[in-house]
């Protein structure tokens, strides 16, 4: 078979480990493997290169994606999808694998209406927000990066007796914020999935001060419905006079060497994708369920945003007492 792989959307640590495993498993199965550079934009531009084993050497420890990624307005339209399908047919590609998030999967489903080969998705996004899978490549590293940063911020917060609002990524999902908050012992967490009651939030902060807390860490997902960390901090300071500082971690969460966990599961998902192709599957993605990788329908992955566990939200606040 002739198989191809591309990365789309935001980069995530562990993508390179996934590409490496996909390429080498494909070669093990005697397939010809092609890398498509710069995502769907590169596909439309014909940026396709055959890959050999040495092409993916020395990348397992690197963040980002060596294939590159790009936003492609042309691919959003039916004409662009038809063009992409024709290019794949011209290169005699039998199966296409795409590593990315829900937007990348939507593009893959749309492409499959015109492309008659197999299509397989691999969930790669630091947000861990794709329904149907318990894990997406990059999440563990992103949380680890955020926790390491907050461990340093805590030193300053304690020294000055301040409350720090730390904004992490998560425009539609609070998965990063929630795991980060629990991991770093935050005083509170604000996420898009939970309506933020400013009055109740302020009561929790003031109760902490009455209990003798000298400082505080509040983790805020960038997509919190009450606003970002700066907006919420301004409201709280105006109403309470509490000494608050804001730190926005931003895109630092996307980069860096992937954790061992992301390397392991990135590799396993890349390997599983080749097995799905071998078994003639299509319109599915590599989902982690119960510690195993199983096929799940792409349609499920684009059905919304994976919900957070409300018990974890409660646990953050119980442990912050």
pLDDT for 226 beyond 90: no
CATH 3.40.50.450 fits domain 2-138+258-301: yes
83, 84, 86, 92 alpha-carbon torsion, rounded to 10°: 160
Query: CB–CB of 90/268 below 8 Å?
Result: no
- Domain residue spans in the chain? 2-138+258-301, 140-254
**201: pLDDT confidence band, cut at 50, 70 and 90?**
very high
pLDDT for 45 beyond 90: yes
For residue range 97-140, list pLDDT tens digits in order: 999 999 999 999 999 999 999 999 999 999 999 999 999 999 99
Q: How far apart are CA 192 and CA 38, in angstroms?
A: 31
302, 117, 53, 13 alpha-carbon torsion, rounded to 10°: -10
**289: pLDDT confidence band, cut at 50, 70 and 90?**
very high
Q: How far apart are CA 36 and CA 55, in angstroms?
A: 13
- pTM above the 0.85 mark? yes
Report the chain's mean pLDDT, rounded to a whole number.
96
**310: pLDDT confidence band, cut at 50, 70 and 90?**
very high
Q: For position 109, what pLDDT does the model report? A: 98
* DSSP track, 121-189: EEEB-TT---TT-S--BTHHHHHHHHHHHHHHHHHHHHHHT-EEEEEES-SS--HHHHHHHHHHT-SEE
Q: For position 315, what pLDDT does the model report? A: 97
Residue 100 CB-half CA count within 13 A? 28
**192: pLDDT confidence band, cut at 50, 70 and 90?**
very high
- Give the strand order in the sheet containing 95-100: 48-51, 32-36, 2-7, 95-100, 118-123, 284-289, 292-297
Q: How far apart are CA 125 and CA 45, in angstroms?
A: 24
Q: For position 321, what pLDDT does the model report? A: 86
- Average pLDDT value for residue range 212-232: 91
- Average pLDDT value for residue range 36-52: 98
Q: For position 169, what pLDDT does the model report? A: 96
Q: For position 137, what pLDDT does the model report? A: 98
Question: Which residues carry out catalysis?
Answer: 127
pLDDT for 3 beyond 90: yes
Q: How far apart are CA 38 and CA 113, in angstroms?
A: 22
Identical topology for domains 2-138+258-301 and 140-254 = yes
For residue range 72-106, list pLDDT tens digits in order: 999 999 999 999 999 999 999 999 999 999 999 99
Q: For position 223, what pLDDT does the model report? A: 87
What kind of architecture, by CATH, is found in domain 140-254?
A: 3-Layer(aba) Sandwich (3.40)
Torsion-angle region of 138 (φ positive above 0: left; ψ -120 to 50: alpha; else: beta): left
For residue range 241-280, list pLDDT tens digits in order: 999 999 999 999 999 999 999 999 999 999 999 999 999 9
């Amino acid at each position: 078979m002739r198989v191809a792989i591309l990365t789309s959307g935001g980069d995530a640590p562990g993508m390179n480990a996934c590409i490496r495993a996909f390429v080498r498993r494909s070669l093990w199965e005697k397939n010809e493997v092609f890398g498509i550079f710069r995502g769907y934009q590169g596909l439309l531009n014909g940026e396709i290169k055959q890959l050999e084993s040495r092409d993916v050497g020395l990348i397992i420890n690197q963040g980002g994606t060596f294939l590159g990624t790009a936003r492609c307005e042309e691919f959003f339209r039916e004409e662009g999808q038809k063009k992409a399908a024709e290019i794949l047919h011209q290169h005699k590609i039998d199966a296409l694998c795409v590593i990315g998030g829900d937007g990348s999967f939507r593009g893959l489903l749309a492409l499959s209406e015109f492309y008659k080969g197999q299509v397989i998705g691999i969930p790669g996004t630091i947000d861990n927000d794709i329904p149907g899978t318990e894990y997406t490549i990059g999440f563990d590293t992103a949380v680890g990066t955020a926790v390491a940063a907050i461990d340093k911020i805590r030193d300053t917060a304690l020294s000055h007796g301040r409350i720090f609002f730390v904004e992490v990524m998560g425009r539609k999902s609070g998965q990063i914020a929630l795991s980060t908050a629990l991991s770093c012992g935050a005083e509170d967490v604000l996420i898009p999935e939970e309506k933020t009651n400013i009055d109740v939030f302020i009561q929790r902060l003031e109760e902490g001060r009455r209990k003798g807390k000298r400082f505080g860490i509040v983790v805020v997902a960038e997509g919190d419905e009450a606003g970002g960390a700066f907006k919420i901090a301004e409201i709280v300071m105006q109403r309470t006079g509490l000494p608050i500082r804001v730190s926005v971690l931003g895109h630092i969460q996307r980069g860096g060497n992937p954790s061992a966990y992301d390397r392991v599961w990135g590799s396993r998902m890349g390997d599983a994708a080749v097995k799905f192709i071998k078994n003639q599957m299509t319109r599915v993605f590599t989902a982690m369920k119960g510690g195993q990788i199983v096929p799940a329908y792409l349609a499920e992955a684009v059905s919304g945003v994976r919900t957070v566990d409300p018990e974890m939200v409660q646990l953050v606040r119980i442990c912050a007492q």
